[in-house]
Amino acid sequence: MANVAVVGSQWGDEGKGKIVDWLSERADVVVRFQGGHNAGHTLVIDGVTYKLSLLPSGIVRPGKLSLLGNGVVIDPWALLEEIDTVTAQGVAVDPDRLRIAENAALILPLHRELDNLREAASGSGRIGTTGRGIGPAYEDKVGRRAIRAGDLAHPHVLRSRIGRALLHHNALRAGMAASPVDGDALFDSLMAIAPRIAPFLERVWERLDRLRRDGKRILYEGAQGAMLDVDHGTYPFVTSSNTVAGQAAIGSGQGPGAIGYVLGITKAYTTRVGSGPFPTEQDNETGARLGERGHEFGTVTGRPRRCGWFDAVMVRQAIKVGGIDGIALTKLDVLDGFETLKICTGYRLGGDPIHHFPSSENEQAAVEPVWEEIEGWSDSTRGARSWAELPATTVKYVRRIEELIETPVALLSTSPERDDTILVRDPYAD
């Protein structure tokens, strides 16, 4: 029985939330292992829309355990707000269903403020962050001055850690003409929410080890996508954590052997939020049509996503870097009605053909896509739940993608609804 890691193979927003929710029916445990509340997941279940940013997608499934691993950076105020929101929608969130790694780093108001101060100062060179403090929180974690979730249970330790953090942050703020952070006020605000957070705290690594030894099925839920990975993505236009499957073990306190199958969530076209290179972008009527049909607006930011054709070079590279065993091809229905589709099968750089996505920022911006045109389809694929319901030209498009990315399609998604999914290969199968 394989434990499954679900990761994005593009720039995020591939539809991981729906696929994780669908797979979680087969799982006992769902684990978030990186990122923070900058990564939004939208689930549509029986006509009800749930928008999650920090809670694992399995939280909407009764009887499932959801875990926030040590690799996640947690804004405790945002977490409590999200818990209150889904509770009002009828989802039970209690310590029997949600556990938080005591060694997970916290996002503080000062991180959000620093994030926005930097973006404002960067002008046209801004990265395009969500402004939620993710990057500064990871900086503090690596700089060994982070406040961790478990510190909320130890006031004397918390006060000491605040002092250490403010030595750094108030010096930074002075250089940016920002007022210093009041350590006592920060301590009081954290202690005010500590009683609500403390019941969820646990040694997640130990719980996961026990669950795995007991034969429970574990689903590791990634955020963002491979091309936003801090090492393997379009640096510096990336997030501040590793988003590839290798992080699933590190960010939850498990060894690499804990994961048996890696499923890459892959949109049938390509989107990106914010700044950075995008070789197949269609800044034209085609891009606008994809965005309108796909409702391409960020779950967290509300920003419109940039849209373009499928980039097989980028996805193939993400598959190799992330050890992806199969993909879930999502939003296939958005392509309904296009007379002709395009797939990027390679690039040209300075007139020379290349078959990889460059690591250099200037080369990423300079590559030109090599296109292959494929016949589209007029019939609707929306809601299809079997291969037999798909038009022949749709199947041809899917098969061509498989050939180009050198990886099989394990799942197909044909609408946001949970059950509008075609299972080709069960990732949990031995």
* Residues designated catalytic: 13, 41
- Tell me the backbone φ, ψ of residue 100, rounded to 5 degrees: -125, 130
222, 245 Cβ separation under 8 angstroms: yes
Residue 332 sits at the vertex; the CA angle it makes with 348 and 23, to the nearest 5 degrees, is: 110
**Cα–Cα dist 137/110, whole Å:** 9
**Cα–Cα dist 238/227, whole Å:** 7
Q: Closest Cα to residue 22, out of 36, 1, 41, 2?
A: 41
Residue owning tokens 């503090």: 140
**Cα–Cα dist 170/183, whole Å:** 10
10, 270 Cβ separation under 8 angstroms: yes
Strands 306-308 and 105-106: unpaired
226, 241 Cβ separation under 8 angstroms: no
**Cα–Cα dist 366/109, whole Å:** 38
